[in-house]
Amino acid sequence: MDFEYSPRVKQLREQLMAFMDEHIYPNEARYHQEVEANRRAGDAFVPTKVIEELKPKARAAGLWNLFLPKSERVPEGLSNLEYAPLCEIMGRVHWAPEVFNCAAPDTGNMETLERYASEEIKRQWLDPLLAGEIRSAFAMTEPAVASSDATNISSRIERDGDHYVINGRKWWTSGANDPRCKVFIFMGKTDPGANRHQQQSMIVVPADTPGITVMRALSVFGYDDAPHGHAEVDFKDVRVPVGNILLGEGRGFEIAQGRLGPGRIHHCMRLIGLAERALELMCRRTEHRVAFGQPVATQTVTLERIAEARIMIEQTRLLTLKTAFMMDTVGNKEARREIAMIKIAAPNMACQVVDWAIQAFGGGGTSNDFGLAAMYATARLLRLADGPDEVHRNQLGRLEVKRHSPKGPVEPRAPYTPSW
């Protein structure tokens, strides 16, 4: 078993860390100041100048579209295993992935278009997404139903001649508030009477199509996540050409399964970086804060939490790398057990590490001064995004029971009699 990164990944890691040191960390304060200035001016969802300035620099450095597997459009693409340590580094600053055109939901949408869209759709939407010229949104979750069960989706996609007519209310449509959002991938039902996993379809919907209304921005524990954000969106008699359907009618659930595997592992990779940053802040803070006559870092409870945090991060990283390796070698379907495990483990790990860091900072940790409160909101949200813990635990439990069921029931063994 080889735990070494490939020479190419080592080189990219060095380049990426140098870029973070030179351009990302020094601009963290400027980014937040820009967002706050836009908010005071009346629109927090204006794209920031700092990100737009840094994107060409990242592209010129060859740190662009690193998430997308090798394909005709991205011949230099990386495997999941190669991308994992790079995605982790980006996760240390929540807005950094966009600088490298590696931000969700665009990454998931680009992979979906690359795998399932027609060449015409790819030219129209995938190419400008890959160029970082536009952004996108994924409209799946609905306020009226428990959307953790994708078969509950109630929005309709109905054929009418050469068009499909779309009706439904979506929410947690991340990125829909962004003025650069030019296209949606929408999930709805084309045939409610079909097999429950063949009722759904996915379709590409230009954001300027009549009948689309962004109703409101949603907050996450009080954060609006501007300028990206999350929206409630109404689709009323939205008409799009039949050629915009992905793969064909009834293939939406299949696409969702193919799309969500990479999306879930990307979230987990970034969360490892987030947890590493929180642990670093915790160590630096406690080393220089004195309580009860000694640095907080020397007190046993703090040392124990730091040690536990390091163990939890390393365990999660190893599981994530194993999952990435399996996705690359045996495919998402065969790796579904590991994908479920990391989607449970990574957000829970990050929540705990950030919680300990907040505790070490005291009241300051709950403020916006140190970024920990926002980190916690992100980690806690990701226990729900792309499927809640309960869904993944149920799937994992069923797979584990199935793995052992051929062995039959457990028979009692002969009583053990001690020799004494």
- Amino acid identity at 94: H
Confirm whether 7-117 and 135-245 share one CATH topology.
no
Instruction: Yes or no: say if 154 and 142 are a contact pair by the CB < 8 Å rule.
Output: yes
Q: What are the structure tokens assigned to 245, written together?
A: 């359907």
- Residue 285 is predicted with a pLDDT of 97
> Which residues of the chain fall short of a pLDDT of 50?
none
CATH topology of domain 135-245: Butyryl-CoA Dehydrogenase, subunit A; domain 2 (2.40.110)
Q: What are the structure tokens assigned to 47, written together?
A: 């794209």
- Residue 313 is predicted with a pLDDT of 98
Q: Which residues contact 244 (CB under 8 A, 6 or more apart)?
A: 121, 164, 203, 204, 205
Distance of CA 21 to the CA centre of its chain: 23
Q: Which residues contact 261 (CB under 8 A, 6 or more apart)?
A: 327, 332, 335, 336, 339
DSSP annotation of 333 reads T
Q: Which residues contact 357 (CB under 8 A, 6 or more apart)?
A: 278, 279, 281, 282, 285, 365, 372, 375
Instruction: Yes or no: say if 278 and 373 are a contact pair by the CB < 8 Å rule.
Output: no
Residue 202, helix vs strand vs coil: strand
Residue 295, helix vs strand vs coil: strand
- Domain borders along the chain are 7-117, 135-245, 253-404
CA atoms within 13 A on the CB side of 340: 17
- What's the whole-number average pLDDT of the chain? 94
161-206 pLDDT tens trace: 999 999 999 999 999 999 999 999 999 999 999 999 999 999 999 9
Considering the segment(s) 253-404 as one domain, its CATH architecture is: Up-down Bundle (1.20)
Using the CB atoms, write b or e for 68-100: b if 16+ within 10 Å. Answer: bbeeeebeebbbbbbbbbbbbbbbbbbbbbbbb
Pairing status of strand 200-206 against strand 156-160: unpaired
- Residue 386 is predicted with a pLDDT of 85
CATH number (3.30.365.10, 3.30.1360.120, 1.10.645.10, 1.10.540.10) of 7-117 reads: 1.10.540.10
